[in-house]
Amino acid sequence: MWGWIVLLVVIALPVLWGIGIYNGLVTARNAYRNAFSQIDVQLQRRFDLIPNLVETAKAYLAHERQTLDAVIAARSAAQSGLAAAKAQPGDAEAMARLSAAQGQLESGLGRLMAVAEAYPDLKGNQNMMQVSEELASTENRLSFARQAYNDSVMAYNNRREVFPASLIANNYRFGPAAPLELPSAQAEQIRAAPTVRF
């Protein structure tokens, strides 16, 4: 009798241990996918604000049509990059494509805002100020969402790479997840110390 109980325990413990590791990997994968959905929400909000920004600026920047068209084209490319990343959150190629598209969009928006600075009437326009403020708020939320996603990706990758979980991860196709990197120009701007002059 005791022999059967010991045998069942010896068989059940490794099975329960394996189930625990598998469930932990699934939980970590779902966490980074959920974190990516928060990036999706903020990017969609940004995409929704851009046409309002362009329409407001269009009345003042008639001869800056190329800048406005570049922003709209970059918005379309960024939406396409987001769609690919939503289909496969964590996929290295999809995340690189999203990062590149977001870099182009941020560059276009930066040029638009620089051009807008030269037009006091546009800069003082109530709609322009409101949309610019909402866009800045969205950028802040996007930064927090990106950090949460990257933290979740790191936790997932750590969990799948440590032994003995790596044995189960490799056998059940828990592939690595890629973080969402900042485009290099934006990363350098963020990391650079501000210059203060008196």
Dump pLDDT digits (tens) for 110-157: 888 888 777 777 767 777 788 888 888 888 899 899 999 999 999 999
Residue 27 predicted with pLDDT over 70: yes
The mean predicted confidence, pLDDT, of the chain is 83
CATH number at residue 57: 1.20.1440.20
Structural domain span for residue 172: 28-182
Q: What is the pTM of this model?
A: 0.77
| CA distance linking residue 63 with residue 174, whole number of Å | 52
pLDDT at 170: 84
The reply to whether 17 falls in a domain is no
pLDDT at 40: 92
The reply to whether 1 falls in a domain is no
| CA distance linking residue 172 with residue 162, whole number of Å | 15
Average pLDDT of the residues in 65-79: 87
Reported as a pLDDT band with limits 50, 70 and 90, residue 63 is low
The reply to whether 195 falls in a domain is no
Say what angle helices 2-58 and 92-117 make with each other, to 10 degrees.
30
CB distance 109 to 51 below 8 Å: no
Torsion angle of alpha carbons 82, 88, 94, 96, nearest 10°? Answer: 90
Rg (CA), the chain: 24
| CA distance linking residue 193 with residue 176, whole number of Å | 33
The reply to whether 18 falls in a domain is no
The reply to whether 112 falls in a domain is yes
The reply to whether 2 falls in a domain is no
How many domains, in total, are found in the chain?
1
The reply to whether 36 falls in a domain is yes
HSE value, Cβ hemisphere, 13 Å, CA-based, for 24: 19
Tokens encoding 72 = 């709209």
The reply to whether 40 falls in a domain is yes
Residues making up the chain, counted from first to last: 198
